[in-house]
Amino acid sequence: MLTRGEILAWLRERDEARLQELWRRADAVRRERVGDEVHLRGLVEISNHCARACAYCGIRAGRSGLPRYRMGPEEILGCAAAAARLGFGTLVLQSGEDPALTAAWVADLVRAVKAATPLAVTLSLGERDETDLALWRAAGADRYLLRFETSDRSLFDRIHPAPPGRRSDRLAQLRTLAALGYEVGSGVMVGIPGQSLASLADDILLFRDLDLDMIGVGPYLAHPETPLGRPAGGGAPAFPDAGGDQAPSDELTACKVVALARLACPRANIPSTTALATINRADGREHGLLRGANVVMPNLTPPAYRARDEIYPDKACRDEDVETCAERLRCRLAAIGRRAGSGRGDARAPERLRAGPGAERCRCP
Ligand code: 5AD
């Protein structure tokens, strides 16, 4: 089991030859514990309305000049049909924190997708009440993604202004999701201004403590239309960095976190994220897959909406249609000796998922 000291030493390692050892170990654990299949999850960004004002995010509340959209159920079902046709095992429904997506509306949508396709359904709709989460689980939702972004509470609070009368408690929500029988995903951004390498080591230990089923990690990408991404003017910066221990927001550090997440949580499903593919368009996606990742999430959002869902600028794959994207992806997987997964790519035994709320958490691979 990796100690905090070992994790931190890897995060600080700069020697390329030594890092080959980290990549080799992460890849070996990935192969042994989750195999060579790369699970494809079709991502649909169903709404870019957001009630929150996260300092780094391009769809934050109050950003003017961004056209907002909310997809209708028929359009979303069209995307679900495309996911099934393309052989993906999972549909991921993601949005800003949008109160207009009412609990009943989402539950109806989940039921409709489950009735029309064999897909697993993953929700990624932000911080929501336990009653909503329970309703969606009962409607058939299988998984939920909510990144905690950083385990450093004061950094979290600086970049996530609390909504009036409420304090974010993402860790409590992650525990609630597990108790409801969801497969639970979380993760972090790497290189947030103010994030130290020491706090990143704590993030990785928290992945293990939470016994996550899915772990999403990507580099922080500055968005110029946000408070965190705007070039600093004169005077004291509003978001000071962590000095000599500041985590770099680069591909290498993000890959280290992917590799260390694999070593800390051997059975987890870990995507090679779009943010990684964006920061290194040539082979960021492959680097993730060769350093611990076993999932890719092709974007199924209709092209008309895609440019409007800018959580960070210039997202990879933004302008490709989904057929082309899926075909190219399969070629790229074959080129690194991997193949697209068949089936849903669950992290836990299906009996446990069927058991639903109250089921004991399975710890087997
Ligand atoms: N850079 C990188 N990742 C970002 N996200 C949001 N904004 C940015 C950004 N500027 C990530 C967050 C969120 C996920 C959906 O996208 O980690 O949880």
The secondary structure of 62-96 as a DSSP string is: T-TTPPP-B--HHHHHHHHHHHHHTT-SEEEEEES
Our mutation pick for probing the ligand 1 site, out of 228, 312, 315, counting the most ligand atoms within 8 A of Cβ, is: 312
Res 350: pLDDT: 47
Kindly state the average pLDDT of the residues 248-265. 98
Contact 290, 30 (CB under 8 A): no
Res 358: pLDDT: 39
Kindly state the average pLDDT of the residues 193-201. 98
On the question of pLDDT at 339 being above 70, the answer is yes
Kindly state the average pLDDT of the residues 300-307. 89
Tell how far the Cα of 221 is from the centroid of ligand 1, in angstroms.
8
pLDDT in tens, 257-270: 999 999 999 999 99
Res 310: pLDDT: 82
Res 163: pLDDT: 84
In the structure encoding, which two tokens stand for residue 232, read together? 């600093």
On the question of pLDDT at 232 being above 70, the answer is yes
Neighbours of 345 (CB within 10 A): 20
Higher pLDDT, 312 or 189: 189
Does ligand 1 come within 6 angstroms of the Cβ of 149?
yes
Tell how far the Cα of 354 is from the centroid of ligand 1, in angstroms.
31
Neighbours of 111 (CB within 10 A): 16
pLDDT in tens, 12-52: 999 999 999 999 999 999 999 999 999 999 999 999 999 99
In the structure encoding, which two tokens stand for residue 137, read together? 């689980």
Res 355: pLDDT: 45
**What predicted TM-score, i.e. pTM, was given to this entire model?**
0.94
Does ligand 1 come within 6 angstroms of the Cβ of 203?
no
Does ligand 1 come within 6 angstroms of the Cβ of 52?
no
What does the alpha-carbon distance between residue 214 and residue 208 come to, in Å, rounded to a whole number?
11
pLDDT in tens, 113-155: 999 999 999 999 999 999 999 999 999 999 999 999 999 999 9
Res 348: pLDDT: 62
Q: How confident is the model at residue 319 (pLDDT cuts 50, 70, 90)?
A: low
Q: How confident is the model at residue 306 (pLDDT cuts 50, 70, 90)?
A: confident
pLDDT in tens, 60-116: 999 988 999 999 999 999 999 999 999 999 999 999 999 999 999 999 999 999 999
> Which residues lie below 8 Å from residue 291, measured CB to CB, with a gap of 6+?
22, 23, 26, 27, 255, 258, 259, 262
